[in-house]
Amino acid sequence: MKAIVWTKYGPPAGLQLKDVAKPIPQDDEVLIKVLATTVTAGDSEMRKLKLPLMLSFPMRLYVGLVRPTRIKILGQELAGEVEAVGKDVRFFQEGDQVFAAAGLGFGAYAEYTCVPENGNEKKGLAAIKPTNMSYEEAAAVPLGGLAALNHLRKGKIARGKKVLIYGASGSVGTFAVQIARYFGAEVTAVCSTANLEWVKVLGADQVIDYTKEDFAQSGETYDFIFDILGKSSFSKCKNSLKKDGRYVLASFKLGKLLGMLWTSISGSSKKVICALSPQSTEDLAALKEIIEAGKVKTLIDRSFPMEQAAEAHRYVEEGHKKGSVVITMG
């Protein structure tokens, strides 16, 4: 089969189209013919191994000191068709249209990959694809959609809540705006000038251009603030939170963790929450239902053919994408 092989750390040129062995599903796995995948910031950071120091060295020890050896194919989310199932698989069958997260082993940048039937964020997971989405649209759902859903739950999303989403035009942010609206929240979206109209289309009640206005100086208060990229701080946002408000972070460093610890032990009514995004087949199925209800759609900025994977990575690294960037594997 064809695959986009990760040959070295560094620039996108290290991604090369090669022939590799087709995987064979284990007893509890499904073999998926991949029809679409995406380029995420995580794929880019992994390719360069541009991670915090406390993570980069252990990761290099695991993946390969000089060049990638343990993980050779990147790609974290996908959509396609089930081609074969292991003998213990009960839910899926050949021909099923699915969307999936590849897990910590990556592997979506290939014509075929295997995912366990009852998976998790480590091994990967899959669900039946929404009927009202193309493969390209569905491929962009698992990571951003699950991250948005889980972090909004951390903020106790509910009808009537006032939510501010900082970083609303990216792959997580676009889902967060739509899912928050689905739950009946009043949404204020923060993004750059170029993305204001884009985010309005998603259903945001108010939009703020961070290049021209500081939301923390507006006098408005929110039940929770969801900072996707960790660009703000709790000290700056504290006065913008209502009593018992929550400041939720999807991307964070040591200082943010210390803030979470302090608000926890100090008895403050306002809390800092640094949360990872656990993945489950149940949550992926829940996203499918929300999508099929017509409440969430995928926004695709650009689509690249498989042989232009390196160019797709270059485009993402420019930092101006709106929504998701897709690689088609046909």
Q: What is the pLDDT along the chain (330 residues), one digit of tens a residue?
A: 999 999 999 999 999 999 999 999 999 999 999 999 999 988 998 999 877 666 778 888 888 888 999 999 999 999 999 999 999 999 999 999 999 999 989 999 999 999 999 888 889 999 999 999 999 999 999 999 999 999 999 888 999 999 999 999 888 999 999 999 999 999 999 998 988 888 999 999 999 999 999 998 888 999 999 998 877 777 788 888 998 888 888 866 554 445 455 455 554 656 777 666 678 999 999 999 999 999 999 989 999 999 999 999 999 998 777 779 999 997
pLDDT given at position 131: 97
Fold of 2-140+298-328: Quinone Oxidoreductase; Chain A, domain 1 (3.90.180)
Residue 167: strand, helix, or coil:
coil
- Give dist(CA 138, CA 115) in Å, integer: 16
Indicate if 144-274 has the same CATH topology as 2-140+298-328.
Answer: no
Domain boundaries, the chain: 2-140+298-328, 144-274
For the record, the structure tokens of 162 come out as: 């006032």
- Give dist(CA 228, CA 226) in Å, integer: 6
Superfamily of domain 144-274: NAD(P)-binding Rossmann-like Domain (3.40.50.720)
pLDDT given at position 86: 97
Nearest to 327 by CA among 24, 111, 104: 111
Query: Residue 326 class from Cβ within 10 Å (0-12 exposed, 13-18 middle, 19+ buried)?
Result: buried
E strands, 40-146, in order: 77-85, 97-101, 112-116, 125-128
Q: How far is CA 255 from CA 50, 230, 259, 273, 277, in A?
A: 19, 11, 6, 12, 19
Q: Which amino acid belongs to residue 248?
A: V
Q: Are 15 and 315 in contact (CB under 8 A)?
A: no
- Give dist(CA 188, CA 196) in Å, integer: 11
Residues 6+ apart with CB under 8 A from 218: 208, 240
For the record, the structure tokens of 192 come out as: 């750059």
Q: Are 313 and 151 in contact (CB under 8 A)?
A: no
- Give dist(CA 154, CA 150) in Å, integer: 6
Number of H helices, E strands in the chain: 10, 15
**CB environment 245-261: b (16+ within 10 A), e (fewer):** bbbbbbebeeebeebbe
Query: Residue 86 class from Cβ within 10 Å (0-12 exposed, 13-18 middle, 19+ buried)?
Result: middle
